[in-house]
Amino acid sequence: MRLTDLARRVGAAVDADAELELHGVATLARAGMTELSFFANRRYRDQLATTAAGAVALAPSDRHLFAGPKLIADNPYLAFARAAALLHPPSPMSPGVDSSAQVHASAQVAADARVEALAVIAADAVIGAGAVIGAGCYLGQGVVIGAGTQLAPRVTLLAGTRVGARCLIHPGAVLGADGFGLANDGGVWVKVPQLGRVVIGDDVEIGANTTIDRGALDDTVLGNGVKLDNQVQVAHGVRIGDHTAIAACVGISGSTVIGRHCVIAGGVGFVGHLEICDGVTVTGMSMVAQSITRPGVYSGIPAEEGRRWRRNIGRFHQLDELARRVTRLQRSPKDQPDE
């Protein structure tokens, strides 16, 4: 694609050779003359100076740092992401049901959907237009898959799970397993039936081996545009608001409500029955033990407002010296050194 056409499609401006033809994308260190790269972090300034990339996406304030053809955008990483999608489109999909797949007679599969080898689709399931069901997937009774959604191989969607349009679910994900609901009877655990569903909005991405449990009574719900990384655990009855992004190995306990446009970094844990307002960022390995009612950045164990946490950590590292000073001040006058 010509640089000028790419710029128009991604909403960027062109600087220099607008007729340059690009064939792909790559990092600054590895890009060649027919590839687009991007510069969004000053730590890579040395690589920008030596890159062989045919063109680079960068911010207006950085345009002077690269002499070659440029895509100028306020958010160069976003422009690069959109350009990468255009230069590396997905392989065309051939509709049809593989002969080794098992599709129940009552299931509805759109004529232009694809069901790959050894997939199992149970009674009353509905597969929308242009959807792809990967090899070895299992779709339980009454599962609904929206138009254009793609399930990678070996995804499991248990009975009643509903997935919206244009979603992407990576290998090994399990949606709709029972939540961890147990009542204690004199030291013996009694299982609580899990009667809710998992309901996924549109344009959601769910990472490999991520698990989303069905609700105990109410549904477990992910809003539109939610992005989950690999190995995230979403317990029964959790609700996650639109366009929230959650990194790997996060554990969300039951009935927690997370708002819209939140960012949860890797390894964060949530105590159950909390409410997290819109616009919250929680930094990696924090433990959220109480509800958060104000937008902002939160850190620590338990998590608290980020600025306060950093100040407290700084004071913690001063404890040894403070203890020594207190000890000196507590000495009796006869122990004090002469001045």
- Residue 222: partners with Cβ closer than 8 Å, 6 or more residues away: 199, 200, 201, 204, 212, 228, 234, 239, 240
**In whole angstroms, how far apart are CA 9 and each of 4, 48, 137?**
9, 24, 35
Asked if residue 156 lies in contact with residue 142, where contact means CB atoms within 8 angstroms, the answer is no
Question: Strand, helix or coil at 87?
Answer: helix
The residues assigned a catalytic role are 236
Residue 211 makes CB contacts below 8 A (sequence gap 6+) with: 173, 174, 175, 177, 232, 233, 234
Q: Which residues contact 270 (CB under 8 A, 6 or more apart)?
A: 250, 251, 252, 253, 256, 258, 276, 288
For residue 129, the one-letter residue type is A
CA gap 273, 124 in Å, rounded: 33
49: left (phi over 0), alpha (psi -120 to 50) or beta: alpha
Q: Please, what's the largest Cα pairwise distance for the chain?
A: 97
Q: How far apart are the C-alpha atoms of 298 and 276, rounded to whole Å?
A: 11
